[in-house]
């Protein structure tokens, strides 16, 4: 095992670490005499009620700290490297990879392809298993780390090798058996490519994956995202309405079977399929507790449900909301995917508040191509260009996922301040929830630092 240097970035107020006088800049050496390879080791070792932590202070002095605590109680330490190790890049050359469809000249971090199983637990990333060593598998089983999120794409070994352009991709699926035997909870994903892994191949995959129920709790099926930068790449075709109808029909047929047997619907179509097929979204109960929100499965249904609940609260407890004489003008911009639903919600609010005026603008993704419809891939320049000269009211509201995490910078490096200056209007960046949509549009003061509404991430 290589020795990693684990530098403390911050210590939580009132935590065990603060009580033990651990400070930012200190270096974690061992826990219970064991070296820490990465966050897996750290999280496993700190679960014990009694631990011995060896740290090195900034002056080189080493302290051995004996700590008695509650089981599973965290020490309250944040490290400079959250993974506590180097990130592992992807060794596949998938025919559907969106990073390969990025234009040149963007910031370097946007071109990094991760395929690190540890990020599956930490951030919910989906991994292909092709980059997972036998040691990784053994550690996951030993520490019983779950859930692990797996990009299946297909359960046909030969086809998987072709789709991932990796001759080991088929054999990598055997690791799913290991996890199943060890009782590891899993979630799955299929990026569907027209004429490749759809139709009979999709049905085969659904049947094969169902063998891992109930430990494999859910599988999402999302359409491949196709940007306009595909020159020299594998020829893929976009899905049309009739294709979406066929995908939904197949998935819903199996949902009924699985629910009768396991009490789980298991296989889920992302929201994009229903919009493309011009069908109503499934009812809330069919999402099994929204296990696949990050893949755009049920995100719009959850948004509408929360919005309707808030409207009902407005009727039941009118004193919690602004007076119906409220006069306010705001604008909202979103991707084409969510636009019809956002517009419907705004219309309902304007019916409740006759002095409220809301302009909703669907932003066409000219940067990546019009077939990219999620707001998470909108750029600042497209938003700015398409809103210039439009009625924006007193405030422009944008979903938080148009920005880099924790920063006020768009995907193309345009800043929020630059957009505000160009459009001459304040920009409000908000998070996702139907209630927050209401509070933001009405200009209500909210608890906590952030508000929010519809966001999507492309699978």
CATH code: domain of residue 324: 3.40.50
As a whole number of angstroms, the distance between CA 196 and CA 162 comes to: 10
CATH number at residue 137: 3.80.30.10
The residue out of 45, 79, 113 marking a domain boundary is 79
The confidence score (pLDDT) of residue 407 equals 81
Q: How confident is the model at residue 453 (pLDDT cuts 50, 70, 90)?
A: very low
279 and 307 fall within a common domain? no
Q: Write the DSSP assignment of 288-317 as a string of letters.
A: TTTTTGGGTSSHHHHHHHHHHHHHHHHHH-
pTM above 0.85, yes or no: no
CA dihedral 151, 372, 163, 139 (to 10 degrees): -20
How many structural domains is the chain composed of? Answer: 3
Check whether residue 267 and residue 400 sit in a common domain.
Answer: no
Query: Residues 381-425: pLDDT tens digits?
Result: 999 999 999 999 999 999 888 987 778 899 899 999 999 999 999
What mean pLDDT, rounded, does the chain reach?
Answer: 89
Are residue 281 and residue 406 in the same domain, yes or no? Answer: no
Same domain, 103 and 66: no
Residue 369 has which token pair?
Answer: 């191509």
CB crowding 1-18: b at 16 or more within 10 Å, else e: eeebebbbeebeeeebbe
Domain match, 251 and 145 both? yes
> Sheet of 427-430: strands edge to edge?
356-363, 328-335, 396-399, 427-430
Residues 310 and 424 in one domain: yes
CB 153 within 8 A of CB 188: no
Residue 56: which CATH number? 2.30.42.10
Q: Is 453 part of a structural domain of the chain?
A: no
Residue 458 has pLDDT above 50, yes or no: no
Whether residue 459 lies inside any domain: the answer is: no
For residue 105, what pLDDT is reported?
A: 75
**Do 231 and 356 sit in the same domain of this protein?**
no
Distance CA 161, CA 338 (A): 34
Which pLDDT does position 118 carry in this prediction? 65
Residues 54, 185, single domain; the answer is no
Separation of alpha carbons 374 and 258, rounded Å: 30
Q: How far apart are CA 122 and CA 399, in angstroms?
A: 23
Per-residue pLDDT at 397: 95
| One domain, residues 261 and 306 | no
Domain that holds residue 10: 6-79
Of the three residues 295, 313, 339, the one that is the final residue of a domain is: 295
d(CA 457, CA 274): 16
Residue 449, in any domain of the structure: no
Domain boundary pick from 295, 324, 355: 295
pLDDT for res 33:
92
Of residues 108, 271, 267, 101, the one with CA closest to residue 189: 267
Give the per-residue pLDDT at 396: 97
Q: Are residues 72 and 190 in the same domain?
A: no
Residue 89: inside a domain: no
Give the pLDDT of residue 125. 80
Residue with tokens 């909301």: 321
Examine residue 84 and state whether it is found in any structural domain, yes or no. no
Please indicate, yes or no, whether residues 135 and 156 belong to a single structural domain of this protein. Answer: yes
Report d(CA 208, CA 229) in Å as an integer.
Answer: 34
Let me know whether 407 and 334 are in one domain: yes
CA–CA separation, 347 vs 90, rounded Å? 45
Give the span between the Cα atoms of 174 and 157, in whole angstroms: 10
**Any domain includes 86:** no
* pLDDT recorded at residue 450: 42
Residue 234 lies in a domain: yes
User: Is residue 87, in this structure, part of any structural domain at all?
Assistant: no
pLDDT digits (tens, 9 = 90+) for 141-179: 988 888 899 999 999 999 999 999 999 999 999 999 999
């Amino acid at each position: 095992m290589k020795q990693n240097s684990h530098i403390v970035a911050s210590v939580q107020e009132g935590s065990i670490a603060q009580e033990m006088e651990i400070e930012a800049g200190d270096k974690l050496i061992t826990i219970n005499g064991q070296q820490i390879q990465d966050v897996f080791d750290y999280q496993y070792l700190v679960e014990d009620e009694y631990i011995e932590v060896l740290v090195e202070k900034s002056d080189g002095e080493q302290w051995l700290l004996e700590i008695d605590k509650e089981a599973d109680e965290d020490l309250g330490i944040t490290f400079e490297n959250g993974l506590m190790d180097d990130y592992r890049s992807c060794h596949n050359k998938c025919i559907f990879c969106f990073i390969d469809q990025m234009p040149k000249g963007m910031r370097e971090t946007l071109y990094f392809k991760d395929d690190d199983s540890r990020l599956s637990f930490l951030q919910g990333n989906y991994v292909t298993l092709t980059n997972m060593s036998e040691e990784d598998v053994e550690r996951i089983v030993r520490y019983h780390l779950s859930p692990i999120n797996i990009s299946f794409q297909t359960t046909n070994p030969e086809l998987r090798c072709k789709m991932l352009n990796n001759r080991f991709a088929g054999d990598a699926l055997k690791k799913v058996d290991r996890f199943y035997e060890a009782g590891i909870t899993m979630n799955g994903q299929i990026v569907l490519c027209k004429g490749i892994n759809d139709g009979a191949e999709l049905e085969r995959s659904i049947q094969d994956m169902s063998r891992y129920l109930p430990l494999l709790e859910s599988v999402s099926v999302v359409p491949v995202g196709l940007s306009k930068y595909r020159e020299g790449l594998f020829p893929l075709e976009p899905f049309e309405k009739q294709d979406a109808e066929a995908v939904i029909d197949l998935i819903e047929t199996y949902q009924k079977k699985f629910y009768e047997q396991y009490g789980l619907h298991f296989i889920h179509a992302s929201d994009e399929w229903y919009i493309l097929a011009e069908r109503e979204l499934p009812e809330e109960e069919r999402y099994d507790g929204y296990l696949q929100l990050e893949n755009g499965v049920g995100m719009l249904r959850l948004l509408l449900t929360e919005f309707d609940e808030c409207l009902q609260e407005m009727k039941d407890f009118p004193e919690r909301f602004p007076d119906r004489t409220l006069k306010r003008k705001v604008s909202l911009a979103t991707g084409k995917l969510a636009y019809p639903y956002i517009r419907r919600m705004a219309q309902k609010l304007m019916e409740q508040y006759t002095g409220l005026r809301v302009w909703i603008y669907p932003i066409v993704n000219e940067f990546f191509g019009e077939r990219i419809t999620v707001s998470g891939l909108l750029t600042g320049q497209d938003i700015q260009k398409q809103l210039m000269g439009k009625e924006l009211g007193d405030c422009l509201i944008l979903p938080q996922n148009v920005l880099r995490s924790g920063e006020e910078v768009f995907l193309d490096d345009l800043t929020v301040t630059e957009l505000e200056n160009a459009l001459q209007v304040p920009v409000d960046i908000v998070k996702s929830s139907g209630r927050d949509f209401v509070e933001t549009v009405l200009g209500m003061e909210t608890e906590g630092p952030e508000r929010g509404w519809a966001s999507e991430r492309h699978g």
